[in-house]
A and B are shown apart, each in its own frame.
Chain A
Amino acid sequence: KAGVTQTPRYLIKTRGQQVTLSCSPISGHRSVSWYQQTPGQGLQFLFEYFSETQRNKGNFPGRFSGRQFSNSRSEMNVSTLELGDSALYLCASRLDRGRPYEQYFGPGTRLTVT
């Protein structure tokens, strides 16, 4: 079974621009969560989507948004990029039954804002 895939793997953007990152979960997984990873703050939860609905949200500004499609694929968008948004953005998927905390992570998208 294929793992979680994220595209693109690397991205360089300029301050003020916007960016969209994509995540394809493991087949059959309906929950997708997004995390931001930086050296200073570590791994921080952004939001979770399930059945095209945002089910949980972390403490990030409204510039960070996401959505989920009917095939469970998810995208996250960051508008008006700031230098501090440079990070590794990780997507994780899981089954929504059984052991819900057993999340499977993708390799991440490395975003650099200049």
Chain B
Amino acid sequence: GESVGLHLPTLSVQEGDNSIINCAYSNSASDYFIWYKQESGKGPQFIIDIRSNMDKRQGQRVTVLLNKTVKHLSLQIAATQPGDSAVYFCAESREGYGGSQGNLIFGKGTKLSVKP
């Protein structure tokens, strides 16, 4: 699709299995960390976020873990479905001029392929 990079890391899982997508971030001063999902031909879609003072946050079938010691973020998807196939991006939210948090710093992305 339009949004997929040529050299994205790829994760291939069987339908029903759990998926873990990892991300390393750069700035320990970031306030929030967010996961986005981008399907072919579409813009990124917000999945879940975690504040920098938290270690874990759960949503529907998804869990985000934050390890500030090693600047690592992960997204766990339970019972992965074919509809989960997409490119997943982590992003950091930082304060900008005037207190804005409109500036998201995105990671390179991971392509998740779910085999039926």
Contacts and interface: CB of A to CB of B under 8 A. Distances in A.
Interface string B90-103: 01010011101111
A56 B109 contact: no
A32 to B, nearest CB: 8
Contacts of B45: 105
Contacts of B36: 105
Nearest to A87: B2
Interface string A35-55: 101011011110010100001
Interface string A82-97: 0000001010101000
B97 A55 contact: yes
Nearest to A9: B41
Given A101-B34, A101-B49, A101-B104, A107 B41 contact: yes
A10 B113 CA distance: 27
B9 interface: no
Name A's interface SS: strand
**Contact residue range for chain B?**
20 to 34
A105 to B, nearest CB: 3
A100 B105 CA distance: 14
A65 interface: no
Interface residues of A, number: 32
A42 B91 CA distance: 12
B108 A56 contact: no
A76 B67 CA distance: 37
B25 interface: no
A38 to B, nearest CB: 8
Interface in B1-47: 2-7, 31-32, 34, 36, 41-46
Interface of B: 2-7, 31-32, 34, 36, 41-46, 49, 89, 91, 93, 96-98, 100-109
